[in-house]
A and B are shown apart, each in its own frame.
Chain A
Amino acid sequence: MTHSPQSGSSETPALRAEGLTRRFGEQVAVDGVDFTVGQAEIFGFLGPNGAGKSTTARMLTGFLPPTAGRAWVAGIDVNLQPSAARLRIGVVPEEANVYADLSVRQNVLLMAELHGVAKVERERRCMELLDTFDLRERAAQKGRQLSKGLRQRLMLCMALVSEPQILFLDEPTSGLDVASTRMIREVISRMNRERGMTVFLTTHNMDEADQLCHRVAIIDRGRLAAIDTPAALRARVDARRSVVVKFAGPGATPAELLPNLDLEVEAAVDGWRVFSPEPGPLAQHIAARTVALGLRIESLNTVSPTLQEVFVSITGAAHGRA
């Protein structure tokens, strides 16, 4: 059975924030944030460092009380019934926080016990998850003996053993090898698809957000700057659509290639990337002009803006800042 996201339906949302605000003294870390995450939705939460992503996630998971505003998890007010709300969530923080002196199995069982999972059931789920994340052979190893990638997999097991309605992930694949990254993304997608689990994903990785998320929100300086599907967000920055031309042999200068056209151009490998909201006619123009100049084209592609470009466009952030 597959589940589809319910962001627009009248069902109780998986997550809801209303005027969520957090101040630390004079500093406003999160400023009146409003959003709703539907059931079975993978929701990306993007923003530059210090934008308020982690603080928002900490308020939603009940770790930090908001200064103003309210948050609901599965319809439960996080501040009024924190324990009941936290029964329904699993959390995977950015920094590994497994118990170094407990074994892989003991770490998973500890979280199951805290969530009140019955003894027989927690053993079954634990072994099932260790199989899913290829950790069964390491069940007796201590947390301290695991590599970063294995610890990250263990943290996912710990978060999933209670079969949460909502999974909070903070940079789940940051610094991981390709195999671990792929495995984690596949499992997240599968859990979402097959069990209808909602995922709140905080990430810097735009490709990850693009691949996994049904919708993304961009937070900047504590305020929500945008919230939409990745495709709709990309459409907002049509000016960043472009044509990439690569020449076989000698190439033309931008002035030769685009006479009388005032377009943004940047150097690409053996060619140019030319930005235009209408890349189709531009590609035709470049092809015709290249033939007229007696040159040869190796490749000519129209390119949609990446989520990274959308992010930079919305937040004004430098690449290094994101």
Chain B
Amino acid sequence: MAARDDTVLSELLRQVRCAGVIAKKNVRIYYLKGPVVTFGIVFPLFFYLAFAAGHDGPVSVMVPGIAAMALFFTASAVGPLITPWERQARTFERLITSPASLWAVLAGDAASGAAFGAVLALLPLTAALALTTAHIDAMWPLLAGWLLGATAFSSMGVLMAAPATDTPSQVMMLSNLVRLPLIFVSGVFVPHEQMPSWGQWLSPLSPLSYCADLIRVGFGGNAYFSVTIDVLALVGFSLAFMGAAHYFHRRTRNRPA
């Protein structure tokens, strides 16, 4: 049979373009909704304040904590639901039978979550900068934590969407079951140094730990791990989440219609 002369580069560019189209579609359909935007800002803010109230933490600890929490919640909020929704509406099958590969579909989902989280979480960050004495001390660690953290969290959301279900409520339960414990071991509420030993053991398993660490450095705080480890860990988490999501999606697809 005849073969086509699609080069690796042209195929790669096509998939990047498809991922961009899918991300744009996701933002339009799933993210730019009043309740999603409100939930993404209000929930992490009040969740944090509920724990921080009564604690006399310095703003240099509180502000990075709120910012990291907002980023974590906004970037991972909708991603777990997109695939179940699209499976339910059969639009997932439409994407998979388009020229977009499964990688491109997942990358589009992750990119839309990351972009949404990174932009929306700027609101509490800006408010905190305007209303408190906190100030940015080092831009690059903050920027790295912001972008890599958003990517890792949205990739985690994409992985949560991989189980073979088209029932969003099931995925939502799983999502909260995973996300809430991660907050407690990430050093957002309680500094790593003051955590019990089991918390210090579990902390490296949470991507939020590394993101919060980088943001803290950005606000003039000290890194618990190190900036290099934080960056590598967030990149590693993103790749691992995407790889696992791809594996589980392929397994799901191999089931009868």
Stretch among A88-96, A235-243, A260-268 lining the B interface: A88-96
Residue interface bits B232-257, CB-to-A below 8 A is 1, else 0: 00000000000000000000011111
B14 CB-CB contact with A under 8 Å: yes
Given the known inter-chain contacts A55-B256, A63-B253, please indicate yes or no for A116 contacting B99, CB distance below 8 A. Answer: yes
- The answer to whether A97 touches B91, judged by C-beta atoms less than 8 angstroms apart, is yes
- The answer to whether B91 touches A99, judged by C-beta atoms less than 8 angstroms apart, is yes
B21 CB-CB contact with A under 8 Å: yes
B76 CB-CB contact with A under 8 Å: no
Given the known inter-chain contacts A61-B97, A63-B93, A63-B97, please indicate yes or no for A12 contacting B1, CB distance below 8 A. Answer: yes
Give bound CA distance, A55 to B28, whole Å: 32
Chain A residue numbers with a CB within 8 Å of B25 are 99, 102, 110
Give bound CA distance, A98 to B25, whole Å: 13
Chain A residue numbers with a CB within 8 Å of B90 are 93, 95-97
Q: How many residues of B contact A (CB 8 A)?
A: 32
- The answer to whether B101 touches A83, judged by C-beta atoms less than 8 angstroms apart, is yes
Chain A residue numbers with a CB within 8 Å of B254 are 24, 64-65
Give bound CA distance, A84 to B99, whole Å: 7
A62 CB-CB contact with B under 8 Å: yes
- The answer to whether A72 touches B1, judged by C-beta atoms less than 8 angstroms apart, is yes
**In chain A, what residue has the closest Cβ to B90?**
A97
- The answer to whether A91 touches B3, judged by C-beta atoms less than 8 angstroms apart, is no
Residue interface bits A259-294, CB-to-B below 8 A is 1, else 0: 000000000000000000000000000000000000
Q: State how many angstroms separate the Cβ of B157 from the closest Cβ of chain A.
A: 19
**Size class of the A contact interface (CB-based, 8 Å):** 35 or more
A114 CB-CB contact with B under 8 Å: yes
Give bound CA distance, A114 to B95, whole Å: 9
Given the known inter-chain contacts A55-B257, A63-B93, A86-B98, please indicate yes or no for A12 contacting B4, CB distance below 8 A. Answer: no
Chain B residue numbers with a CB within 8 Å of A29 are 256
Given the known inter-chain contacts A93-B93, A115-B99, please indicate yes or no for A84 contacting B29, CB distance below 8 A. Answer: no
A4 CB-CB contact with B under 8 Å: no
Chain A residue numbers with a CB within 8 Å of B253 are 63-64
Can you sample 30 A-B contacts with CB below 8 Å? A62-B97, A63-B93, A63-B253, A64-B253, A65-B254, A72-B1, A75-B1, A76-B3, A81-B4, A81-B6, A82-B101, A83-B11, A83-B14, A83-B15, A86-B97, A86-B99, A87-B99, A93-B90, A93-B94, A97-B89, A97-B94, A99-B29, A101-B28, A101-B29, A102-B25, A102-B29, A111-B98, A113-B21, A114-B18, A116-B99
